[in-house]
Structure 1
Amino acid sequence: MRVTKLLYLGMIAIGMGSFLIAAPVPLGSQQGGGTAVRIDNDDIGGVVRSANGPEAGVWVIAETTDLPTKYAKIVVTDDLGRYVIPDLPKANYNIWVRGYGLIDGPKARATPGKMVNLKAVTAPSESAAAQYYPSIYWYSMLKIPDKSNFPGTGADGNGIPGRLRSQGQWLAGIKTLGCNSCHQLGNKATRVISKDLGHFNSSLDAWQRRVLSGQASEIMIRNLKDLEPVLALQLFADWTDRIAAGELPKAKPPRPQGKERNVVITL
């Protein structure tokens, strides 16, 4: 009886093993197995390669204007550069690659149910690569008053209001509680002084004009007053001057890793 039971359990184990081997395997779990990309008739899939080989952890973007509203879907490549953009509405799509260390590659045309291998283009310079960094990497280049300037000593001292007791309070004024509540500071529109703003003798003059623009100008002036406006504008002017001179963020953003790649973003 004991032998029969052991044989029975052994057969179950073998059967389960065979089932697991034969069962479909999601794309993300194929890292150590075959390289085939499997799609159905409403997916687009393929492999992303650059001159350096397969590109892991880069975004593949599919976009169309064939639908009643503009539609885009974004996924991330795995370790072998493979991607699948799933469950796409029937339409003609432009597909391209974007990633850190790259510049946008050429766009391919495709429809769901097609395999499309894509070309990734390595950035020709550090400056070109940095144009795709998140805004916060650029904003982190802004110089801030040293901790020794706090608490502020007011108009008769260092100009920083006495109610600002710490550097952290000053930072809150140019981040969560101030500028960043309305603007994505560090994006190209804010780190570069646009020629459309006008001609100015200095970046400081340009910033003084910039904060007077738009419906939120009153709020911007109020926030600057809370920080000490002359100092704040000088720091913003210095920030844009250094960027215009070619200075780049010190840190480089990492590409998505692990579970960060298991995303499908629909816009």
Structure 2
Amino acid sequence: MKTKTPLSRITLAACLLALAACGQPEQETSAQAEPVVSDAPGISSDQNDIGGVVTSTDGPEAGVWVIAETDDLPTLYSKTVVTDEDGRYLMPDLPAAQYDIWVRGYGLVDSEKVNAVPGQSLDLNAVIAPDAAAAAAYYPAGNWYSLLEIPARSEFPGTGADGNGISPNIHNQADFMRRVSSGGCLACHQLGNAAIRNIPGLFSGYDTSIEAWDRRVRSGQAGGSMSRALAGMGGRALQMYADWTDRIAAGELPPVPERPSGLERNVVITQWDWADPTAYLHDLVSTDRRDPTRNAYGKIYGALENSADYLPVLDPQTNTIAQIPVFPEDPDYNPEPSRPMAESPYWGDEPIWDASTTVHNPMLDQDGRVWITARARAPQDVPAF
């Protein structure tokens, strides 16, 4: 299924972290610019490539991203490369299609999109950000999240609602930080992105930002788990997040990230949109982890956990996607989707997740077979093995 606003997007695993370094802008540029044929030396390309030089009013732009995207293929497809010290870029091995190509980078705003096809050589004009706030819109979510002010070490163990608002069950700062990072909130959310560091209009009618955050975390089908997680940290957590978004709304900006350098400029990121807009990708597998050369260039299999009852399958060679239905072994087990705890600013009252199998942890074996963990029957009907 094609969508211009994908929620389920995959990169090859080796490139995922590199992509996270490039923040999502507040707005995307849709204007088209005329391509400029490049005569830059030292760029070797063939009929499957696009290459050239990126310059701005400051001269060649090193360590910025050049992005090519198309919806001409069976799935939305994009490729991202990084410019070298002379501003040169090479977009390799592109499938035949019409591409929108533009420049993104720290200190810049997105350039106008240029329409091009593989085999062309063209230069691109980067656009210097007009001010620090415009530049910061492209910074990584992690930089924005670094503005969160964690309670001092001296405030632990917490003293509860009648004390400092931190749960007495949190004994040290490290445990608190774990809960607001990979051991808790960051396990599911890209905290710091534009959608989270700004308060949606649905919650604008509350008297305080603390009330807005309390309502916000109740949204959607995961509202119960999000509310419980924050409640388990004590009321100080809501105060902390409210203070964070208040300071950002008042104009506070995150630290300026460094542009890619050295070997980081060799990274090539290929992305495909797969699954559906309401699904989220929990796991994926592309090889036998005991033999990572297995299934080279082969299909990639995903797991959608609570969101849908199928395995999304991507063929990176043909740029095609497929779905393998999964269903409980017990034909009578067909639970109703959980209802949203409260209205979502994006999906309203719609229960967008409807999986009964809750597929996790796909694995590929030595014979190329895919194994998954999935719910086969109602939880209360597990046999006495």
TM, length-normalised to structure 1: 0.84
Aligned alpha-carbon RMSD (Å) = 1.3
1:160 to partner: Cα distance: 2.2
Percent of matched pairs sharing the same residue: 57
SS in 2 for 1:190: helix
Opposite residue 244 of structure 2, the aligned amino acid is W
* Cα deviation code 1:110-135 (max 9, x no counterpart): 11100110010000000000000000
Aligned to 1:252: 256
SS in 1 for 2:206: coil
2:161 and 2:79 mapped to 1: Cα distance? Answer: 53
SS in 1 for 2:160: coil
* Cα deviation code 1:231-252 (max 9, x no counterpart): 1111111111111110111x21
SS in 2 for 1:117: strand
Opposite residue 249 of structure 2, the aligned amino acid is A
Aligned to 2:355: none
Name which of structure 1's ranges 114-123 and 168-177 shifts more when overlaid on structure 2: 168-177
Opposite residue 105 of structure 2, the aligned amino acid is G
Equivalent runs, 1:102-251 vs 2, <5 Å:
102-228=108-234, 230-249=235-254, 251=255
Distance of aligned partners of 1:155 and 1:234 in 2 relative to their CA distance in 1, 3 Å threshold:
closer
Distance of aligned partners of 1:236 and 1:156 in 2 relative to their CA distance in 1, 3 Å threshold:
closer
1:42 and 1:219 mapped to 2: Cα distance? Answer: 48
Identify which of 81, 93, 105 aligns with 1:87. 93
Distance of aligned partners of 1:164 and 1:242 in 2 relative to their CA distance in 1, 3 Å threshold:
same
1:89 and 1:156 mapped to 2: Cα distance? Answer: 62
Residue 63 of structure 2 is aligned to residue 57 of structure 1: yes
1:116 and 1:197 mapped to 2: Cα distance? Answer: 46
SS in 2 for 1:227: coil
Q: 1:35, 1:80 within 8 Å by CA — same for their partners in 2?
A: no
Higher strand share: 2
1:36 to partner: Cα distance: 3.1
Aligned to 2:267: 263
1:225 and 1:177 mapped to 2: Cα distance? Answer: 16
Q: 1:61, 1:96 within 8 Å by CA — same for their partners in 2?
A: yes
* Cα deviation code 1:204-261 (max 9, x no counterpart): 1211110110111111111112210x21111111111111110111x21100001000
SS in 1 for 2:232: helix
1:123 and 1:156 mapped to 2: Cα distance? Answer: 47
2:169 and 2:210 mapped to 1: Cα distance? Answer: 26
Q: 2:166, 2:237 within 8 Å by CA — same for their partners in 1?
A: no
TM, length-normalised to structure 2: 0.59
**Which residues of structure 1 form unaligned runs of 5+?**
1-33
1:149 to partner: Cα distance: 0.8
Residue 56 of structure 2 is aligned to residue 41 of structure 1: no
1:153 to partner: Cα distance: 2.6
Q: 1:93, 1:109 within 8 Å by CA — same for their partners in 2?
A: yes
1:78 and 1:258 mapped to 2: Cα distance? Answer: 9
**Which residues of structure 2 form unaligned runs of 5+?**
1-39, 272-385
* Pair member with larger Rg: 1
SS in 1 for 2:251: coil
Opposite residue 265 of structure 2, the aligned amino acid is R
What is the aligned length?
232
1:236 and 1:77 mapped to 2: Cα distance? Answer: 37
